[in-house]
Structure 1
Amino acid sequence: MKILVVCKHAENSREAKVLSSVLNNGFEIIYSWKNTLAPGELKGIDLVVSIGGDGTALSASHFLIDKPLLAVNSDPEKSEGALTTINIDELENKLEEIKSGNFKVEKLERVEVEINGKLQSPLALNDVFIANEKAYLVSKYRIKLKHEGKVVEEEQKSSGLIFSTGTGSTAWFKSAGGTPFSAQARHVEILIREPYIRRLNKFKILKSRIEEADFAEIIPKTEMVLAIDSIREFLVTPADKIKVKISDKPLLRIVR
């Protein structure tokens, strides 16, 4: 079995010692780090293992389409571990289970973004955020939402929009006033942050969702920034059209 391990992998680290013992059990292991990981490294790989915290797991997920991810928490006392499956002490036994085919995979839904008809990378595992690049300035945009066969379109002012998956719903989305939902739910929820509501502008779209056949289109009225999982940023302008929908390529995460 050929494994790509995404970690810092300091020579004398705890992770290195655990992986050294794994090497003697018939695994072929290749190392990479999240800041230098390239799609070409996935060629011929059977499994991707991220060792670190949620940030490492999130970054590793951005390169995966049809490869399973085993997310390992290397320091449970310091890392929340919302995205990880096991702790570092359990890695060797878990890999033996995987090698024997005794494991389960869950599908975590992701969001895809198009800008002017071009699909952008990566797919979002947590959320997509669109807002004025300067947080103290109002975000102005036109939003069109297709949901349950109906189309609603309106101009809005707010401090930005969050499109959240179930996986990301316990993070920023929840802090901004959203209600968490299942990571396996086949929908994305939309939250308009701090909507600028006055007598002349009462919005129809404040909290809504995008299901499998739905989409949302955003046309900025000013320069804005679009962030995928708070890692990848795109600058968008009034000349751009943004389309957000559910991806048909969920993340395959190995569970206990």
Structure 2
Amino acid sequence: MSTKNQYRFVLVSRKTRLQELVERFNTWPQAKFYLEHNQVDGQDYFDENAQYQQCLVDAEQTLKALGRFQLLERSFLPNYQFSPDDIVVVIGQDGLVANTLKYLNGQPVIAINPDPTRWDGRLLPFEMAELGSVVKRVMTDSISDKTITFAEATTNDGQRMLAVNDLFIGPQSHSSARYNLSLNDETEMQSSSGVIISTGFGSTGWLQSILAGARGVVGGKSKTESEGFDWDKQRLQFAVREPFPSNTTGTELVFGQVKGAEKLTLESFMPENGVVFSDGIQGDYLAFNSGCIVTVGVSDTVGRLVV
């Protein structure tokens, strides 16, 4: 077998705003009318789409010259069978990188910023012009990568969910969740709008909005918390959103860490509308209703982001 055929490159893409609008309104003229009716300049949608499509064309040419190639649209990620030797290339934004990592098992991910003038790209360290050289360095193991710790939720009926950024456990809509929360030797019945369990990778995201709100109420700022923590740390951080004190529910066990082999356990006392979802993808969830016990801890599965 030739060296070229030893590698398969999976290029992960997403739909642009223009493509999503055309799907919604069937044709571009109808979508354009909708935008103009709302005083939105459609040219920006065109420019963004043109730039992104050109990146896909350039990436395909580069990768096909180096090995086998597969283009994969984001919606097909949950059902795609990745090979252990695949090299995965993601053309951003940041959310697509996190979403892709969740379906891998240690394969290296090269994240490309399609338009640095448009996207900050905290998780997109490379630009299109660098793709060829970066891929060759990955093929020869001459480039570094960062290990990313995942969170893992398992239920008492055998279901499993991974999270790259964070897990949400709570109500499906804007209501209160009732559950029992346990960590080590502590346990507490709670009523809240849900619990966020964050990895280091996601510690500057959703978790930060909860901490920022708390700091705004009580004043002050913790530098360590505001900067998050390292992606490879074998720990998770949990925060309870809007815990409600009552005769039967407490507010003591509302913020803390899950380290190493420790487990955070939540038992649902909600007849319906309880959910567990990861990385902000609400459509892909586990039911968290009465009788369901969810155990959350650091996963044995890790991600690799090329840097």
- Please, what TM-score do these two structures have when normalized by structure 2? 0.74
- The change in CA–CA distance for 1:21 and 1:132 in structure 2 (over 3 A counts) is closer
Superposed CA deviations along residues 170-219 of structure 1, whole A, max 9, x for unmatched, are: 11100111722221221000101111135875433111110112001111
1:13 aligned counterpart, secondary structure: helix
Mapping of 1:57-206 within 5 angstroms? 57-121=97-161, 123-135=162-174, 137-146=175-184, 151-177=185-211, 179=225, 180-197=228-245, 202-206=250-254
Aligned to 2:8: 2
* Distance (Å, rounded) in 2 between the aligned partners of 1:172 and 1:160: 13
Contact kept, 8 Å, 2:148 with 2:305, in 1: the verdict is: yes
* Distance (Å, rounded) in 1 between the aligned partners of 2:241 and 2:97: 27
Larger deviation, residues 183-192 vs 9-18:
9-18
Q: Partner amino acid for 2:165?
A: N
* Distance (Å, rounded) in 2 between the aligned partners of 1:38 and 1:204: 38
Which consecutive unaligned segments of at least 5 residues does structure 2 have?
1-6, 16-48, 213-224
Larger deviation, residues 197-206 vs 177-186:
197-206
Aligned to 2:33: none
Alpha-carbon RMSD across the aligned residues, in angstroms, is 2.3
Q: Partner amino acid for 1:133?
A: Q
Which consecutive unaligned segments of at least 5 residues does structure 1 have?
none
- The change in CA–CA distance for 1:45 and 1:39 in structure 2 (over 3 A counts) is farther
* Distance (Å, rounded) in 2 between the aligned partners of 1:220 and 1:65: 30
Q: Identity rate of aligned residues, in percent?
A: 23
Superposed CA deviations along residues 143-170 of structure 1, whole A, max 9, x for unmatched, are: 1112xxxx11110111110000011111
Q: CA deviation at 1:226?
A: 1.1
Q: Number of aligned pairs?
A: 249
1:173 aligned counterpart, secondary structure: helix
Mapping of 1:238-249 within 5 angstroms? 238-249=290-301
* Distance (Å, rounded) in 2 between the aligned partners of 1:30 and 1:198: 55
Mapping of 1:188-227 within 5 angstroms? 188-197=236-245, 202-222=250-270, 223=272, 224-227=274-277
* Distance (Å, rounded) in 2 between the aligned partners of 1:175 and 1:66: 29
Superposed CA deviations along residues 109-167 of structure 1, whole A, max 9, x for unmatched, are: 0011111151414x1000001111221x2221101112xxxx11110111110000011
- Please, what TM-score do these two structures have when normalized by structure 1? 0.88
* Distance (Å, rounded) in 2 between the aligned partners of 1:44 and 1:199: 53
> Computing the radius of gyration over CA atoms, which structure comes out larger, 1 or 2?
2
